[in-house]
Structure 1
Amino acid sequence: MALSVFYSSVSGNTEMKKQQQRIFDVLQSKKIDFEAVDISQESENKDLMRRIAGDPTALPPQICKGDSYCGNFTAFESAIEAEALEEFLKL
């Protein structure tokens, strides 16, 4: 079951871009394999992200493992602070 990070490559929102990059940087630095899923390329990806998140208005970045929702950027940062990243990512 793969870890997926839903993101948007097309966004004028600087804060969103920073959040997405922070997630990518942390996962890469910890050598955690993940799939980056660009919701701006296919609407099915956006629909999937929102279905898994259980929120019809969810915006990227969102993190999930298979069909199991892990959380958004705020939850990701909280997990890092609590030194519980692996549990958060369901690894």
Structure 2
Amino acid sequence: MVIKVYIASSSGSTAIKKQQQDVLGFLEANKIEFEEKDIAANEENRKWMRENVPEDSRPASGNPLPPRLFNDSRYLGDYEAFFEARENNAVYAFLGLTAPPGSKVGVYTGHSKPQPVFYTLFFSAPGRIFHMFLWLSQ
């Protein structure tokens, strides 16, 4: 299995450049092998990426923008999906890889929107018991 990261080396967008650096830097720092595919310098890479991003992952208008991640030819997601997986310590699951021993392993749910968090608290004081239910939206 080869992780492929599609990037644009000559992007005019600082946000895209930062996202690409974030993905590539994380993979390098964690010694995760990957291939960098430049869609700005290679028309075949651009064509392949655009054809292989699923319809439900495309923007409403225009073409899909980098960075986009694939495991061989299986589409993994865009920067937002990668970021969510990283925040949940689930990058290896997101990438379809086995986590190395001793690494933090989370569960990648595939959600791109914040999920509500529910807490139930019980505490007591002499002669009284209190119950508190909290619903937090992240």
Unaligned runs of 5+ in 1: none
CA distance in structure 2 between the aligned counterparts of 1:75 and 1:21, rounded to whole angstroms:
15
**What pairs up with 1:10-89 in 2 under 5 angstroms?**
10-54=10-54, 55=58, 57-89=63-95
Deviation (angstroms), 1:43: 1.4
Which structure shows the higher helix fraction?
1
SS at match of 2:36: strand
Aligned residue pairs total 91
Using CA pairs below 8 Å that are at least 6 residues apart, which structure has the higher relative contact order? 1
CA distance in structure 1 between the aligned counterparts of 2:35 and 2:81, rounded to whole angstroms:
19
Unaligned runs of 5+ in 2: 98-138
Provide TM-score, normalisation by structure 1.
0.94
CA distance in structure 2 between the aligned counterparts of 1:37 and 1:85, rounded to whole angstroms:
20
Encode CA deviations 1:44-89: one digit per residue, 9 max, x unaligned.
Answer: 1111111221247111100001110010000000001111100100
Encode CA deviations 1:12-52: one digit per residue, 9 max, x unaligned.
Answer: 10000000000011001110000000001121111111122
Query: If you compute each CA radius of gyration, which structure gives the higher value, 1 or 2?
Result: 2
Letter in 2 for 1:46: R
Which structure shows the higher strand fraction?
2
Percent identity (aligned): 38
Letter in 2 for 1:66: D
SS at match of 1:21: helix
SS at match of 2:41: coil
CA distance in structure 2 between the aligned counterparts of 1:87 and 1:63, rounded to whole angstroms:
13
